């Protein structure tokens, strides 16, 4: 398991850096916010990303993918984080696409993969119902009726839910909330009767939605995988999302850190650059150390997703490590970035605040630090 | 190239034939063999392995044969090291002289000094210790005061050195002394080698909060040191000291490869001492969560070591990564033992005797020992200064806060 990017992966990272800096810098995200974009991203930019092949990176060739792995994807997400670029790459490709790849039948894959990879359709993954992430806490009911199912319940915080063509809904067909068994995955069209999507205006100005399903009828063909056995595929797809989000967090944190160190060198008070004060130097040095630890954890998480020698538990452990440590470093460094920028740090004029807000959302998404620490520990206990 | 392959084959065969099986296992702390005037062996295999490697010249494989070394080229030396790693051979002896002083004598010593000092070192006959720190010169090493005054054909040394590992068991010391007090502090320092049996030297072991230790304070009272024992130029010792410290870092990383420090597995110990999940109070749950997070940070550290190795092999600049390793590891160890002591509760409050399990007592000692880790070998504060200056390139502040050496 290699913890550095290969030459090809590095090349992709460089291309992504160049492209995003030109087409989707932080100023572009600021503009999206100020215009109150409903999608939270620029459709034309997303089209260009698709044309560059980013949406095909993680999938097998047989499904129209590039088989370039999560590490390749990570190289892109790091740059996405640096530029705060918004796109449905995480929601529609990494999360929804992976569920269909991992749990879908051939017919379902044929129906969706090409459309997702081609950017013609957008699918959002609807899992969470409680304020904090908990894929096993699913309570939304799906009851059998005739050959199909009827779904009723509410999903919260569905990323890129506004404007999605369909949702992959995790629903309970058996067992109790909190249990991994009894969860089934359904594809639900956004225009099906009883589906109601309302935007949640989140602090990172991205697209999030509340999804209400009121007696929504779906056919048997909407069920992905076996009834009641959806959790494994769901969790594997979430793990891919977690490591990509960790890479995004790493990129965003790196950018904040670089900006802050630069500020320490140029901001003059008491006739000297404030970076000459040891009180700030030591804190900056600690930030650097945690950033390095986070980078190692993220690289290991990305590499674990691509490593066929690892079992699901080992992969899950590394994904949790990556998401936790990236979030931990992001938390420390974003707080320091604001503080070290002084009064300017709390103004909207600087990008520091935009990073801080996105980091807060990304930290909470797909499991916060507490969630992943517990998950890592539980998985280790099983192993021991 | 083919000759190097021949060398690999021969070396492998020789090691297979000569390295006793018991010397191919990870080495517990208590089984180090220290070269010196009196070498202690725990068993016959240790003695055999010591003597065979010594006779081969492989205590210092890449030193010139003229000075008792093995005369290997750097490439051959790398082959030998990789073959020893492959067979998991222990180092036949531990000797600060070979690892640290030797390379400096080779680079800076006179021909006479090389002929006098190196061959006995290469045969493992002298146990060396290091006299750098002083009670008033720790992080600010260059402010050292132990004086060496010119008295014709010899120096007279007065002062004291502290934190000298095995000062009471060593045969010779290499030490930094002040030979000129009237110039900026780095410019008045010299490097001497001194026979610990010289009249006027006394080494006293230091008891630590964790109990007995290998550290000593060494006192020098009008000790005569012949002038030929000055290594490098008079007042040119600071440059040599920096070279020595670089060899120290290399030696330490090598040492780490072989030795098997007692490892306490946080997760399994937490599993043993904390109540089962179902029986846990919220406080137990919170503590378990802290133990998990600590284990994760440890994992992130070992992944960082792995990544640094990979990047170094890819010829990337790893000086930034290298600069955080000591800081992170020692601070993590401290945090980890705090968590372990919490997990063990009153089982971690024992000092000795029957009432406590050996592992419990070991954890308590290791917790107390961990406090030294963020101080010894460059305190955390010094490490942070180094990261701020050399890696982040933050501007110099006033001398006191920047840890600047000299004026």
User: Mutate which of A289, A324, A367 to disrupt the B interface (most B C-beta within 10 Å)?
Assistant: A289
Q: Residue A56's CB: how many other CB atoms inside 10 A? A: 21
Taking the Cβ of residue A325 and every Cβ of chain B, the question of whether any pair is shorter than 8 Å is answered with yes
Whether A242 maps to a domain, the answer reads yes
Q: Where are the alpha helices (DSSP H) in A307-368?
A: 312-340, 352-364
Helix (H) / strand (E) element for A281: namely: helix A278-306
What's the pLDDT score for residue B313? Answer: 84
- Whether A216 and A242 map to the same domain: the answer is no
In terms of CA atoms, which chain B residue is nearest residue A7? B314
The verdict on domain B2-94 having CATH code 1.10.540 is yes
Q: Is residue A252 part of a domain?
A: yes
User: CB of A375 within 8 A of CB of A320?
Assistant: yes
Residues A111 and A17 in one domain: yes
Under DSSP, the state recorded for B20 is -
Instruction: For domain B128-235, give the fold.
Output: Butyryl-CoA Dehydrogenase, subunit A; domain 2 (2.40.110)
Same domain, A88 and A31: yes
- A6 at interface of B, judged by CB pairs closer than 8 A: no
- On whether any CB of chain B is under 8 Å from the CB of A288, the answer is yes
- CATH 1.20.140.10 in chain B is located at 262-402
Active-site residue flag, B83 = no
Interchain contact A275–B (C-beta under 8 A): yes
The answer to whether residues A274 and A224 belong to one domain is no
Beta bridge partners of B211: B208
* Segment 31-90 of chain A within 8 Å of chain B by CB: none
User: Would you give the distance in Å from CA A344 to the centre of its chain?
Assistant: 29
Helix (H, G, I), strand (E, B) or coil at B123: coil
Q: If you ran DSSP here, which 8-state letter would residue B194 be given?
A: E
Residue contact A377–B292, C-beta within 8 A:
yes
CATH at residue A306: 1.20.140.10
Residue B142: other Cβ atoms inside 10 A: 18
Whether residue A57 lies inside any domain: the answer is yes
Residues A155 and A270 in one domain: no
- Catalytic choice (B81, B248, B331, B338): B248
Q: Is there a single domain that holds both residue A58 and residue A34? A: yes
**Distance between CA atoms of A229 and A296, rounded to whole angstroms?**
33
d(CA B105, CA B117): 8
Interchain contact, A264 vs B394, CB within 8 Å: yes
Do the beta carbons of residue B396 and residue A276 sit within 8 Å?
yes
For residue B191, what are the contacts with CB-CB under 8 A and spacing of at least 6? Answer: B104, B174, B175, B176, B177, B230, B231, B232, B237, B240, B241, B244
**Structure tokens given for B342:** 């919490």
- Does B300 contact A384 at a Cβ distance shorter than 8 Å? no
Residue of chain A nearest B295, judged by CA positions:
A377
> Number of CB pairs < 8 Å for A and B?
125
- pLDDT tens figures, A233-245: 999 999 999 999 9
Considering the domain architecture, whether residues A274 and A370 belong to the same structural domain is answered as yes
A256 and A362 fall within a common domain: yes
Indicate the CATH number for domain B262-402: 1.20.140.10
> Is A315 found in the same domain as A236?
yes
For residues A341 and A260, what is the distance between their CA atoms, to the nearest angstrom? Answer: 7
Please check whether residues A202 and A326 belong to one and the same domain. no
Three-class SS state of B275:
coil
Q: Which residues of B touch A272 (CB under 8 A)?
A: 395, 397
Half-sphere exposure of A150 (CA within 13 A, CB side): 7
Closest CB to A278 among B291, B328, B401: B401
Query: Which structural domain range is residue A282 located in?
Result: 232-383
Determine contact: A293 vs chain B, CB below 8 A: yes
Q: Which of A196, A211, A228 is the last residue of a domain?
A: A228
**pTM of the predicted protein model:** 0.89
Look at residue A1 and tell me if it is in a domain. Answer: no
- Per-residue CA distances from A260 to A160, A257, B183, B384, B395 (Å): 31, 5, 39, 17, 14
Asked if B307 lies within 8 A of A299 by C-beta distance, the reply is: yes
The residue from A72, A88, A117 where one domain ends is: A117
Q: Are residues A185 and A256 in the same domain?
A: no
ipTM, two decimals, is 0.95
Residue B82: the pLDDT is: 86
What share of chain A has pLDDT > 90, as a percent?
98
Quick check: B394 and A293 CB within 8 A?
A: no
Mutation for testing the A interface, residue in B392, B396, B398 having most A CBs under 10 Å: B392
Q: Which of B272, B282, B284, B293 to mutate to test the interface with A (most CBs of A within 10 A)?
A: B293
Question: What's phi and psi for B283, nearest 5 deg?
Answer: -65, -40
Strands (E) across chain A are located at 123-126, 141-145, 148-159, 166-172, 183-189, 195-201, 207-218, 223-224, 268-269, 272-273
Say yes or no for a CB contact (<8 Å) between A3 and B307.
yes
Inside any domain, residue A287: yes
Q: Does A261 touch chain B (CB under 8 A)?
A: yes
At CA A231, angle to CA A58 and CA A118, rounded to 5? 30
- Chain A partners of B268 at a C-beta cutoff of 8 Å? 384
CA Rg value for chain A: 21
Report d(CA A296, CA B122) in Å as an integer. 40
Using a CB-CB cut-off of 8 Å, the residues of chain A touching B276 are none
| A264 min Cα distance to partner chain B (Å) | 7
Q: Which of B267, B324, B384 sits opposite A292 (nearest CB)?
A: B324
The reply to whether residue A265 touches residue B387, judged by beta carbons under 8 angstroms, is no
Largest CA distance in chain B: 79
Residues of chain B within CATH 1.10.540 domain(s) are 2-94
Q: What is the C-alpha separation between A157 and A375, in angstroms, rounded? A: 21
pLDDT tens for the 407 residues of chain B, in order = 568 899 999 999 999 999 999 999 877 767 788 889 888 898 999 999 999 999 999 999 999 999 999 999 988 998 998 899 889 898 898 888 888 899 999 999 999 999 999 999 999 999 999 999 999 998 899 999 999 999 999 999 999 999 999 999 999 999 999 999 999 999 999 999 999 999 999 999 999 998 888 899 999 999 999 999 999 999 999 999 988 887 876 666 665 555 555 678 999 999 999 999 889 999 999 999 999 999 999 999 999 999 998 998 888 999 999 999 999 999 999 999 999 999 999 999 999 989 999 999 999 999 999 999 899 888 999 999 999 999 999 998 765 444 444 33
Residues B128, B125: Cα–Cα separation, whole Å: 10
Considering only alpha carbons, which residue of chain B is nearest residue A263? Answer: B394
Least CB–CB distance from B300: residue in A261, A321, A384: A321
How many of the other CB atoms lie within 10 Å of CB of B354?
A: 5
Task: Please answer yes or no on whether B324 and A325 come within 8 Å at the CB atom.
Answer: no
A368: in domain: yes
Does a structural domain hold residue A2?
no
The partner residue sitting opposite A285, judged by closest CB among B316, B392, B396, is B392
Chain A residues touching residue B301 (CB < 8 angstroms):
293
Among the candidates A204, A228, A252, a domain finishes at A228
Query: Which residues of A are less than 8 Å from B320 in CB distance?
Result: 288, 292
Beta strands in B206-263 (DSSP E): 215-226, 230-231, 259-260
Asked if B388 lies within 8 A of A281 by C-beta distance, the reply is yes
Residues A187 and A157 both lie in one domain: yes
Alpha carbon of B346: minimum distance to chain A alpha carbons (Å): 24
- CB distance from A250 to chain B under 8 Å? no
Residues of chain A short of pLDDT 70, as ranges, are 382-384
Domain count, chain A: 3
Residue A102 Cα, gap to closest chain B Cα (Å) = 28
Write down the pLDDT at residue B261. 55
């Amino acid at each position: 398991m290699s913890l550095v990017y290969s030459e090809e992966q590095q090349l992709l990272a460089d291309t992504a850096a160049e492209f995003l800096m030109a087409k989707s810098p932080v100023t572009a995200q600021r503009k999206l916010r100020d215009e109150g974009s409903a999608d939270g991203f620029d459709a034309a930019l997303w089209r260009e990303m698709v044309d560059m092949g980013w949406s095909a990176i993680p999938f097998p060739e047989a499904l129209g993918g590039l088989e370039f792995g999560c590490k390749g994807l990570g190289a892109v997400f790091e740059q996405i984080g640096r530029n705060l670029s918004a796109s449905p790459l995480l929601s529609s490709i990494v999360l929804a696409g992976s569920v269909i790849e991992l749990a879908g039948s051939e017919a379902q894959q044929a129906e969706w993969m090409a459309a997702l990879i081609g950017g013609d359709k957008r699918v959002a993954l609807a899992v969470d119902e409680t304020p904090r992430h908990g894929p096993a806490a699913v309570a939304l009911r799906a009851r059998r009726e005739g050959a199909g199912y009827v779904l009723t319940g509410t999903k919260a915080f569905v990323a890129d839910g506004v404007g999605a063509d369909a949702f992959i809904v995790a629903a309970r067909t058996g067992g109790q909330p909190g249990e991994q068994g009894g969860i089934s995955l359904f594809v639900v069209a956004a225009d099906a009767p009883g589906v109601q999507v309302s935007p949640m205006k989140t602090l990172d100005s991205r697209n999030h939605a509340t999804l209400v399903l009121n007696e929504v009828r779906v056919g048997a063909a909407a069920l992905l995988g076996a009834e009641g056995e959806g959790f494994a595929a769901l969790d594997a797809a979430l793990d891919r999302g977690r490591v990509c989000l960790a890479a995004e967090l790493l990129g965003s944190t790196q950018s904040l850190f670089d900006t802050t160190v630069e500020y320490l060198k140029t901001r003059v008070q008491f006739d000297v650059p404030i970076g000459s004060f040891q009180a700030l130097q030591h804190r900056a040095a600690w930030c650097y150390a945690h950033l390095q630890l986070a980078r190692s954890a993220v690289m290991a998480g990305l590499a674990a997703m691509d490593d066929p020698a690892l079992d699901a538990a080992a992969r899950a452990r590394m994904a949790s490590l990556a998401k936790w440590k990236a979030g931990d470093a992001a938390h420390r460094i974003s707080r320091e970035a604001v503080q070290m920028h002084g009064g300017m740090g709390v103004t909207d004029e600087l990008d520091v605040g935009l990073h801080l807000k996105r980091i807060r959302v990304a930290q909470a998404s797909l499991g916060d630090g507490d969630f992943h620490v517990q998950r890592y520990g539980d998985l280790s206990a099983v192993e021991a | 190239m083919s000759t190097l392959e021949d060398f690999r084959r021969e070396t492998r065969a020789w090691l297979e034939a000569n390295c006793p099986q018991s010397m191919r296992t990870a080495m517990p702390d208590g089984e180090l063999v220290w070269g010196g005037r009196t070498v202690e062996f725990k068993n016959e295999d240790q003695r055999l392995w010591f003597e065979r490697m010594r006779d081969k010249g492989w205590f210092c494989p890449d030193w010139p044969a003229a000075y008792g070394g093995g005369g290997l080229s750097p490439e051959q030396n790398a082959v030998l090291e990789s073959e020893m790693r492959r067979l998991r051979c222990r180092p036949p002896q531990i000797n600060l002289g070979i690892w640290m002083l030797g390379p400096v004598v080779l680079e800076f010593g006179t021909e006479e000094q090389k002929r006098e000092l190196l061959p006995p070192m290469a045969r493992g006959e002298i146990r060396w210790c290091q006299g750098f720190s002083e009670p008033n010169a720790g992080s600010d090493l260059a402010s050292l005061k132990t004086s060496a005054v010119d008295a014709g054909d010899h120096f007279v040394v007065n002062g004291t050195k502290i934190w000298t590992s095995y000062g009471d068991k060593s045969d010779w010391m290499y030490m930094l002394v002040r030979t000129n007090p009237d110039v900026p502090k780095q410019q008045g320092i010299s490097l001497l080698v001194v026979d610990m049996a010289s009249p006027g030297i006394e080494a006293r072991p230091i008891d630590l909060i964790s109990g007995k230790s290998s550290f000593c304070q060494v006192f020098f009272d009008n000790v005569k040191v012949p002038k030929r024992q000055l290594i490098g130029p008079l007042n040119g010792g600071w440059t040599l000291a920096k070279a020595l410290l670089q060899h120290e870092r290399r030696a330490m990383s090598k040492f780490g490869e072989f030795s098997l420090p007692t490892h306490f597995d946080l997760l399994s110990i937490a599993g043993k001492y904390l109540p089962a999940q179902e029986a846990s109070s919220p406080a137990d749950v919170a503590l378990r969560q802290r133990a998990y997070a600590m284990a994760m940070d440890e994992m992130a550290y070992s992944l960082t070591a792995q990544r640094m190795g990979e990047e170094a092999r890819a010829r990337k600049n790893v000086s930034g990564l290298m600069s955080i390793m000591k800081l992170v590891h020692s601070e993590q160890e401290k945090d980890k033992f705090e968590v372990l002591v919490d997990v063990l509760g009153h089982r971690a409050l024992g000092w000795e005797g029957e009432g406590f399990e050996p592992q419990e007592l070991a954890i308590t000692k290791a917790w107390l020992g961990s406090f030294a880790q963020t101080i010894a070998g460059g305190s955390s504060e010094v490490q942070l200064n180094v990261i701020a200056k050399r890696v982040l390139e933050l501007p110099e502040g006033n001398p006191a806060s920047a840890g600047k050496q000299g004026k």
